[in-house]
Structure formats: C-alpha cells, structure tokens
Copies of this chain bind each other. A is one copy, B any other.
Amino acid sequence: MLTLNEKEQKFYDAFWELKEKSGSHPPSIISVFDMIGEPKTFVDACFLSNPYATTLFMEHFNREIIEGGKLREYIEAYPPQNKEVAEFLTQVIDVPIDNIFIGNGAIEIIQAVIHNFIKGKLVVNIPTFSSYYEYMKNKEDVIYYQLPKERNYSLNVDRYIEYIKEIRPDSIVLVNPNNPNGDYISVENITLMLRELSFLTNIIIDESFIHFAYEDADFSMVNTYNLLQEYPNLIVIKSLAKDFGIAGLRAGYAVMSADRVSSLLETGYQWNIGGFANYFYRLYSKPEFVEAYDIVRKKYIMNTLMFITELSRIPEIKVYPSKANFALIELLDGSSSKDFMVKLLYSYGVYVRECTDKIGLNGQFLRIASRTFEENMIILNAIKDIFKNAGK
C-alpha cells in the first residue's frame, strides 16, 4: 500500500481544494500549473484526446493560419452561424444539413438536449459521464440504472430493453463507448434497442469516443447516423475534442431530426462557434485532411491497444475492457486512489482522473488516457515504480 511524503501530502490538500471549485470535473491543467508550476516532464492522461491528431491539426493551422497571415481575421471577425458551418460538415459525415446541429463542444449540445427535449424521466446508466444527470433541472426525473461490477460495468442489452419497457421513461441515454470504462455497444445492438424502444421520446447516443472503436480488422469508422431516418427519436451527440485533439477550440455536433434542429436554432445558438472552431470545420471538409486524419486515428488505436495490454500485466491493478482511448483501472492492493493520483501527478508528472466522485462506481478507481507511444511508456513506468516503492 502506498503512502504520501510530506510534499505530496501538502499538494494533496491544495489539489482537492482546487477540485472543489471546479465542480464535478477535474481542474484544467492550466489551473493546476498555476498552482504547482509547470513540471519538467508532464503527461496529461486525464483529458482524453489523440495527440497525433493534435499534431496533424497544428501542421495545418501553422501553415494556413499563422504562416498564411489569417490569424487576425479569425480573431477579429464574427464567426459564421450554425447553418453556414453545417454546410461544411454535411460534406464529410454524409448527413443532410437539416439534421445537423453544431455546438460549442458536445457539452453545449448535451445541455440543449436535456433542457429542451426531455419532458419526463431520463434513464442514465451508471457509471457514466456525469453531465447527463447533473444537467437535469429536476433531479427526481433521473433514474439511475446501475451497470453491474461483476460484468465489468458493461450493458446487458436484453435485460436493459426489458427494464426500459417495464418502467417506460421519457428518454434514455447511452454513452458509446462509455466513459469511464470504455464498454462498447455494437451497431447491431444499438439497432435492436432503437427497434424495441421506439416509444421513447428521445434515445440519446453519445458517440464522443466512437472514432476509437471498431468492429472489423481495418478499424473502420462506425456510427449510427443512418438509423435516424427510421428512428426519428434518435439523437446522436458527438464531441470533436477527443478524436481530433482540439478541446481548446470547443467543437462538436449532433445528428437529430430536422424539427429538433429548427426548434433549437429558432431561439438561440447564433455565433456559438468560435473562429478557430470554424476553421476546423472548414479543414475537416477537405478529403485530403480526412485521409491524413484516418491514418493518425488508426495509429492511435493500435497504440492504445498496446498500452492497455501492458497495463493489464501490472498485477496490483485490474484493467477493465475498453474500446475507447482510455482504461478504467482498479487498485487491488488497498491503496487510496486519491493518494495514487496525487503521487502520480506530483512526483511523476502524470495527470490521471481519480474516480471517487463518479456515481455508480464502487471501489478504488482511476481512469487513464492513452497518449503517444513515448508518453504511455512514461505512464507505465511511473505506475510500476509506485508499486515497487509501495512494497518496500
């Protein structure tokens, strides 16, 4: 079992005070740096994004915006409105423009959907991304559906369908792959649920991590957009922060019925897209960028596969099966996950997500993102080192 030294303990107190201020999510790394100074080596394995995609985006940004002399224009001018941006996206995701809603990150869309379209009870599987229950104005309308620990917090689709038919809520949400455990529901099973649960007002599927999932040996991209035609109660929400490594730009979109899109745009969401996010959508509409992106996406998936395999070989932790770009791990040696997180950050410069505050998780959990090959090595070595010293 690990213990903290005096400096680590002092940092522990300061960190959890800052966490308090940040609400239910970890403080941003910029705020943490303000507190502890920037460490020599630092790996952000708390936020979940593909670093190779960030590098790809930076190459274009540097060439077209910085060297191209366009920086001032993108900072000074008003960005275009929702429909103008959707015209770029429709070309690449092959969804009619009337079914596309562009958000200031997926989080703005989650907020919009919950506040505007949910008219009764919402079933939220736990553990999952907390905003889905936090954003409900009437907390009594949230029904928590506990995913079973003994099944690695994965969804038993048949039993779930039975349950939803029995309690007949207004809406349900499925994060696929799920955060924080990475459990993946196949398109076949999603289709089954849509067919069986067509009485629901909204079936929200959050595919923010789906670029990291796959169903074939080529890691081909999957999504459920084409199911909207048959099942108009489907709302697919998609962050672009994780797969493209551009969380600071705030980009995301949703695919939903045309009447839902119109009703949102009628009374809001003008100029909700920043200038540089607008640049991203324009870039994303170019076939040569899409092609280059697919290479770094697959490279990152393979990288993540290797990382999770290596993590699984550490005897003091249990690694939960994941098809996302992170793994949920459980400490098996009785160590506190808060101590573990603090030691990793303060003494090894590795920032991971401690999961005590995740409703529906029972145990000593942390969520660790996959990064570059080299960074994953740093993470693996740091974890091994902690357990080696703890044993002394």
Residues of A within 8 A of B (CB): 21-23, 25, 27-31, 44, 47, 49, 51, 54, 57-58, 61-62, 66, 71-81, 83-84, 104-105, 107-108, 111, 114-115, 131, 134-137, 241, 245-250, 265, 267-272, 274-278
Given contacts A275-B249, A276-B276, contact A30 B270 (CB under 8 A): no
Which residues on B sit within 8 Å (CB–CB) of A51? 76
CB-defined A-B contacts under 8 Å, sample of 26: A21-B83, A22-B80, A23-B83, A23-B265, A27-B80, A27-B84, A28-B80, A28-B84, A30-B80, A30-B278, A47-B78, A58-B71, A58-B75, A61-B71, A61-B75, A62-B71, A77-B247, A78-B241, A79-B250, A107-B271, A107-B272, A247-B271, A247-B275, A249-B275, A250-B271, A250-B274
CA distance A241 to B330 in the complex (A): 47
Contact B75 A248 (CB under 8 A): yes
Contact B76 A28 (CB under 8 A): no
Distance in Å from the Cβ of A79 to the closest Cβ of chain B? Answer: 6
CA distance A77 to B49 in the complex (A): 9
Contact B30 A77 (CB under 8 A): yes
Contact A267 B80 (CB under 8 A): no
Contact A73 B272 (CB under 8 A): no
Distance in Å from the Cβ of A267 to the closest Cβ of chain B? Answer: 5
CA distance A115 to B116 in the complex (A): 10
Contact B107 A104 (CB under 8 A): no
Contact B274 A274 (CB under 8 A): yes
Query: Which of A30, A105, A276 is most buried by chain B, counting CB atoms within 10 A of its CB?
Result: A30
Query: Which of A51, A104, A135, A268 is most buried by chain B, counting CB atoms within 10 A of its CB?
Result: A268
Complex partner residue of A84 from B31, B72, B80, CB under 8 angstroms: B31
CA distance A248 to B276 in the complex (A): 8
Contact B73 A30 (CB under 8 A): yes
Which residues on B sit within 8 Å (CB–CB) of A72? 54, 58
